[in-house]
Chain A
């Protein structure tokens, strides 16, 4: 396996930051230039979701839906029936938060290649508070048959993911975040739907991250190394379909697993991994994320720290986990 190119300034204090949604905005505009079937629909949040770049470039293919998320996705289903590739955007709290049944019936069961872009997911939405901090979207979307679920790790990867989902011909959920997020990948880093990527090598524990949490895992892994704990860090941008092979290969080596996500661990990414390990390779597991509670208002960095989602907190928890739990698994 070739080495995943990481941003060389990844561990510096001045690591470049950019909102993940910005990569989506660039990607959609660029994809629109070569693919005329792409149409974009937004529910009164065009700047926030960064769909504005597409709107300015292709006003005739942009549809303003107003504040109506149920209609947003069902109209998109009709457009897909007419041969279009519709991208819908809103805050994740509203789409897929409010319109889940419409997505289930008219997009997933109906197998239409509608792209559901959920922006502003996670507690890092910040001051808007719990109502707007979507934490249940991974759980909601991953249980739908036919649905692809992707949470890019940074803006560069979000741009690649946007291009990739144009042509996958599947109902797809793309999870984006509001806050400026450290960039850990490079233009040369690979992205393929359904692939997980090894970012660091270690033998003591496997750290599995999705979305922006992968950066925090990298920071944690660096701190752990100084304490003599060597972590395998695997970035899992595609939550469904899951890259079982890459994940299990790492777990076979380390015998301990930690997951990290800015979402509910119950039925979320942590839930996905617990299911995989339970069936294929029972292994001690620590799930980092939101534990059956809602978020609250605050500055994003402050919330991330409060909920134990920053690199330092993660390093502390992983260290305790590694010391407490023997390396163990029973493969079959």
Chain B
């Protein structure tokens, strides 16, 4: 196994991943755009720097585990996994196609390396909490970590807050959750559809340790994860502020890109416009 990538290597890797996502969506002809692009820096950093894993042995029993709760953003997880060596990068173009292991929403039994089956929102956090409970109370495995990502729109789901209460009660300190705070959901801005603020206060009142970071600053992501691992008496949530559609200017900030564009041509254009080189993506909105 290679060691963790450096920040500049991660920035380059994230650019490659964004390119793969657009190629996948172009080939698939359907799927979600904004979330995968805004989660690229985070998930790239998790798989190439933060998590202890072995792509050649996805069931390695010492691994850190990753639960994607908002399964519709899975193109970015597939892209990162392929670049990390779980499966060939060329397989990414089978996304959403008949017979593919890369289902429209992730299915654990189809693709080695996935920890859960997800898509219907609100369930992944509970599964991550169940796993974290096992590590902390049943397996005496203090050296392993459970990472999870939820969407922000997904926090409308009651199941999320049941899980938040549960993790708070049992002080699941090996559970580290990133909330993708991109402020959009399908019907519009989150604060218009179903307001989430005071989001920090909500999590704190459920007994969680809360951090807020710029989700496109890789150094911040690494630091926040390290801080979360140092908190030993509470679960951790990292409110990760992101720009929906990050990296493709005409998609950024626009909730209409939560889903698919009008045609595959949109992604051809996006690929041309992708400002990808030399870490420019990370620097642009800081």
Q: What residues of chain A have their CB less than 8 Å away from a CB belonging to chain B? A: 39, 60-61, 63, 65-66, 68, 70-71, 74-84, 86, 101-102, 105-106, 109-111
Q: List 18 A-B contacts (CB under 8 A).
A: A63-B133, A70-B158, A70-B162, A71-B126, A71-B165, A74-B123, A74-B159, A75-B129, A75-B133, A75-B163, A75-B166, A77-B123, A78-B127, A81-B130, A84-B134, A102-B120, A105-B117, A110-B109
Q: Which residues of B contact A68 (CB under 8 A)?
A: 162, 165-166
Q: Interface SS of chain B: helix, strand, loop or mixed?
A: helix
Taking A61-B138, A66-B165, A74-B126 as contacts, is the C-beta distance between A79 and B159 under 8 angstroms? no
Task: Let me know if B107 is at the binding interface, CB within 8 A.
Answer: yes
Other contacts beyond A81-B130, A82-B131, A110-B107: 13, CB < 8 A? A39-B138, A68-B162, A68-B166, A70-B126, A71-B126, A74-B126, A75-B163, A81-B127, A82-B135, A84-B134, A106-B116, A106-B118, A109-B117
Measured in the bound complex, the distance between the Cα atoms of B67 and A102 in whole Å is 15
Count chain B CB atoms within 10 A of each CB in A63, A66, A70, A71 and give the residue with the most.
A71
Interface bits B153-180 vs A (CB < 8 Å: 1, else 0): 0000011001101100100000000000
Task: Let me know if B128 is at the binding interface, CB within 8 A.
Answer: yes
Contact between B166 and A79, CB atoms less than 8 A apart: no
Contact between B130 and A78, CB atoms less than 8 A apart: yes
Q: Which residues of B contact A61 (CB under 8 A)?
A: 138
| Least Cβ–Cβ distance between B117 and chain A, in angstroms | 4
| Least Cβ–Cβ distance between A90 and chain B, in angstroms | 13
Q: What is the chain B residue whose CB lies nearest that of A41?
A: B130
Q: What residues of chain B have their CB less than 8 Å away from a CB belonging to chain A? A: 65, 67, 107-109, 115-120, 122-123, 126-135, 137-139, 158-159, 162-163, 165-166, 169
| Choice from A60, A78, A84, A105 contacting B120 with Cβ under 8 Å | A105
| Least Cβ–Cβ distance between B48 and chain A, in angstroms | 23
Measured in the bound complex, the distance between the Cα atoms of B203 and A241 in whole Å is 44
Contact between B162 and A106, CB atoms less than 8 A apart: no
Q: Interface SS of chain A: helix, strand, loop or mixed?
A: helix
Measured in the bound complex, the distance between the Cα atoms of B129 and A86 in whole Å is 14
Q: Which residues of B contact A109 (CB under 8 A)?
A: 107, 117
Q: Which residues of A contact B118 (CB under 8 A)?
A: 105-106
Taking A66-B165, A77-B116 as contacts, is the C-beta distance between A106 and B131 under 8 angstroms? no
Q: What is the chain B residue whose CB lies nearest that of A75?
A: B130
Q: Which residues of A contact B137 (CB under 8 A)?
A: 60
Measured in the bound complex, the distance between the Cα atoms of B159 and A191 in whole Å is 37
Q: Which residues of B contact A39 (CB under 8 A)?
A: 138
Measured in the bound complex, the distance between the Cα atoms of B123 and A81 in whole Å is 14
Measured in the bound complex, the distance between the Cα atoms of B81 and A209 in whole Å is 51
Measured in the bound complex, the distance between the Cα atoms of B133 and A78 in whole Å is 9
| Least Cβ–Cβ distance between A103 and chain B, in angstroms | 10
Q: Which residues of A contact B120 (CB under 8 A)?
A: 101-102, 105
Contact between B116 and A79, CB atoms less than 8 A apart: no
Measured in the bound complex, the distance between the Cα atoms of B65 and A102 in whole Å is 20
Taking A66-B166, A77-B116 as contacts, is the C-beta distance between A82 and B139 under 8 angstroms? yes
Q: What is the chain A residue whose CB lies nearest that of B166?
A: A71
Contact between A102 and B135, CB atoms less than 8 A apart: no
Q: Which residues of A contact B132 (CB under 8 A)?
A: 78
Measured in the bound complex, the distance between the Cα atoms of B126 and A149 in whole Å is 24
Q: What is the chain A residue whose CB lies nearest that of B67?
A: A78
Taking A70-B162, A74-B163 as contacts, is the C-beta distance between A106 and B117 under 8 angstroms? yes
| Least Cβ–Cβ distance between A64 and chain B, in angstroms | 9
Q: Which residues of A contact B135 (CB under 8 A)?
A: 82
| Choice from B119, B128, B158, B162 contacting A105 with Cβ under 8 Å | B119
| Choice from B116, B138, B139, B165 contacting A81 with Cβ under 8 Å | B116
| Choice from B122, B129, B138, B169 contacting A70 with Cβ under 8 Å | B122
